[in-house]
């Protein structure tokens, strides 16, 4: 390399690093200016100047929080991957032990709010490994960063005001107010708005301390679930066995039918006993393929989803709660071929279904009800179990088939 070229290369490297440093610096400067403006709004909403000064001292734009917020996983975990990672033997054993240890306190919460202790322990285990890990990102910094970022500014600005109210009321010191990158706090990971709405001073010391006081944690979680609509005398759901030839289209987790009607269709408990004779509405859910477990879920399943809107989360909480009181494990095991599909592979399934004349809807890589019912139609035509579950096996089958109503590949060869 000639000296001139080397000089040019050095110049361009210098320019690039200076520009990115400048961009970073101007971002930080913009952020500090934004904080000054935000403080004005906070004062107008009644937050004291003292709280604001201490809360925003040393707060800088947190790049790690921005990175985590922008992360878009290419793979979504399957039910089995999620279940095996969350309902672990360790959590079951630890949960049983802690349920016994804190039984007197849990019973007090149950008497007040109607939520059985096993669920409180299950949420606690799922959210923070029973208080073992509550997150170490300063809440004001994470919320301010996400409120400054345009993507979900309005939502996080509101949460930031709520967090400042908590500080203003003296429940926790700013240095102790830590949590997840997205602002969830304490042993049951409440967002600040939920904290202000539902947190309870369970031990009566005048503070709502969801980091250090188990009384406050359990009373708050019980209060939250009661307000979300917890049905006192009901379970969350039961694993069931489906009869041969069952129409999997009924497992849509939408249509509620009385238990008696499900029983008439031939459903039994997973161990073969009849369904309980209760006047309860239940929905049917098949979270993996036809070989996996099926569940009848009740109203409390939907309450769990109001805490965290995911079927897999709600199944894990419900099952963990059952295991904590010694109920049996699932009747099915994860098959060897259980594998997550990438978004691209899911799109291929949709494209192939559409190309073959089935209506899978827009090619968005999300297996919604339209994609699943198109897949079921395809499976019926192929004389396959019509569970509508998009698997690697179905992807490969779709790639082999020529057109709608074509014979299954194996038969076409013969």
Nearer to Ca ion, 205 or 271 (CB): 205
Stretch of 118-126, 133-141, 200-208, 287-295 lying at the interface with Ca ion (CB under 5 A): 200-208
| CB count in 10 Å sphere of residue 137 | 20
Nearer to Ca ion, 195 or 248 (CB): 195
Nearer to Ca ion, 86 or 220 (CB): 220
**Helices 153-168 and 3-44, packing angle to 10 deg:** 60
Nearer to Ca ion, 213 or 235 (CB): 213
Integer Cα distance of 93 and 137 in angstroms: 29
Nearer to Ca ion, 183 or 202 (CB): 202
Nearer to Ca ion, 210 or 374 (CB): 210
Question: Among 77, 96, 112, 207, which residue sits at the site for Ca ion (rule: CB under 5 A)?
Answer: 207
By CB under 5 A, residue 201 contacts Ca ion? yes
By CB under 5 A, residue 187 contacts Ca ion? no
Question: Among 84, 149, 203, 227, which residue sits at the site for Ca ion (rule: CB under 5 A)?
Answer: 203
- The number of residues that bind Ca ion (CB under 5 A) is 6
Of 214-233, which residues contact Ca ion (CB under 5 A)?
A: 216
By CB under 5 A, residue 212 contacts Ca ion? no
- In terms of residues, how long is the chain? 414
Nearer to Ca ion, 202 or 293 (CB): 202
Write out the two tokens for 389. 């579950």
195, 208 Cβ separation under 8 angstroms: yes
130, 121 Cβ separation under 8 angstroms: yes
Stretch of 76-84, 101-109, 127-135, 209-217 lying at the interface with Ca ion (CB under 5 A): 209-217
CB of 143 to Ca ion, least distance (A): 23
Stretch of 208-216, 257-265, 329-337, 394-402 lying at the interface with Ca ion (CB under 5 A): 208-216
By CB under 5 A, residue 211 contacts Ca ion? no
Nearer to Ca ion, 105 or 356 (CB): 105
Stretch of 109-117, 154-162, 201-209, 365-373 lying at the interface with Ca ion (CB under 5 A): 201-209
Instruction: Write each residue from 101 to 140 as x if it is in contact with Ca ion (CB under 5 A), else as -, in one continuous string.
Output: ----------------------------------------
By CB under 5 A, residue 176 contacts Ca ion? no
Q: Exposure pattern of 88-125 as b/e (b: 16+ CB <10 Å)?
A: eeebbebbbebbeebeebbebbbeebebbbbbbbbbbb
Stretch of 23-31, 103-111, 199-207, 367-375 lying at the interface with Ca ion (CB under 5 A): 199-207
* C-alpha separations of 207 from 44, 89, 332 in Å: 25, 35, 46
Question: What DSSP line would sit under 145-174, residue for residue?
Answer: HHHHSGGGHHHHHHHHHHHHHHHHTTSS-G
Stretch of 152-160, 193-201, 262-270, 337-345 lying at the interface with Ca ion (CB under 5 A): 193-201
CB of 124 to Ca ion, least distance (A): 17
Helix (DSSP H) and strand (DSSP E) numbers for the chain: 18, 7
* DSSP symbol at 177: -
Of 264-323, which residues contact Ca ion (CB under 5 A)?
A: none
Residue 63 burial class via C-beta count within 10 angstroms: exposed 0-12, middle 13-18, buried 19 and up: exposed
By CB under 5 A, residue 205 contacts Ca ion? yes
112, 132 Cβ separation under 8 angstroms: no
* DSSP symbol at 283: E
56, 24 Cβ separation under 8 angstroms: no
Q: How many CA atoms lie within 13 A of 37 on its CB side?
A: 10
Write out the two tokens for 391. 């698997």
Q: Write out the residues near Ca ion by the rule CB under 5 A.
A: 201, 203, 205, 207, 213, 216
């Amino acid at each position: 390399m000639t000296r001139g070229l080397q000089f040019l290369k050095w110049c361009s490297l210098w320019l690039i690093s200076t520009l990115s440093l400048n961009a970073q610096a101007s971002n930080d400067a913009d952020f500090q200016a934004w904080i000054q403006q935000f403080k004005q709004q906070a004062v107008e909403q009644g937050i004291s100047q003292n709280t604001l000064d201490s809360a925003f001292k040393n707060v800088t734009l947190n790049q790690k929080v921005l990175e985590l917020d922008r992360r878009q996983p290419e793979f979504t975990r399957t039910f089995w991957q999620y279940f095996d990672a969350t309902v672990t033997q360790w959590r079951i054993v630890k949960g049983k032990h802690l349920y016994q240890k804190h039984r007197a306190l849990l019973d007090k919460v149950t008497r007040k709010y109607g939520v059985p202790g096993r669920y409180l322990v299950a949420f606690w285990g799922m959210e923070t490994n029973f208080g073992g890990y509550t997150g170490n990102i300063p809440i004001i910094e994470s919320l301010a960063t996400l409120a400054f970022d345009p993507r979900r500014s309005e939502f996080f600005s509101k949460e930031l005001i709520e967090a400042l109210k908590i500080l203003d009321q003296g429940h926790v010191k700013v240095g102790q107010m830590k949590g997840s990158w997205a602002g969830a706090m304490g042993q049951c990971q409440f967002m600040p708005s939920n904290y202000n709405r539902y947190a309870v001073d369970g031990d009566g010391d005048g503070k709502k301390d969801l980091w250090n006081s188990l009384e406050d944690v359990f009373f708050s979680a019980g209060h939250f679930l009661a307000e979300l609509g917890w049905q006192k005398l009901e379970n969350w759901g039961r694993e069931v066995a489906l009869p041969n030839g069952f129409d999997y289209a009924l497992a849509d987790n939408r249509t509620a039918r009385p238990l008696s009607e499900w029983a008439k269709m031939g459903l039994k408990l997973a161990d073969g006993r009849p369904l309980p004779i209760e006047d309860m509405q239940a929905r049917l859910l098949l979270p993996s393929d036809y070989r996996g477990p099926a569940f009848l879920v009740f109203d409390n399943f939907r309450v769990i989803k109001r805490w965290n809107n995911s079927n897999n989360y709600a199944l894990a909480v419900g099952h963990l709660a059952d295991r904590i009181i010694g109920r049996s494990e699932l009747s099915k095991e994860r098959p060897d071929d259980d594998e997550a599909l990438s978004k691209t592979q899911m799109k291929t399934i949709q494209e192939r279904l559409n190309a073959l004349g089935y209506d899978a809807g827009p090619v968005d890589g999300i297996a919604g009800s339209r994609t699943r019912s198109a897949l079921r139609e395809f499976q019926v035509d192929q004389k396959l179990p019509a569970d509508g579950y998009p698997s690697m096996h179905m992807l490969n089958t779709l790639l082999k088939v020529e057109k709608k109503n074509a014979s299954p590949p194996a038969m076409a060869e013969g």
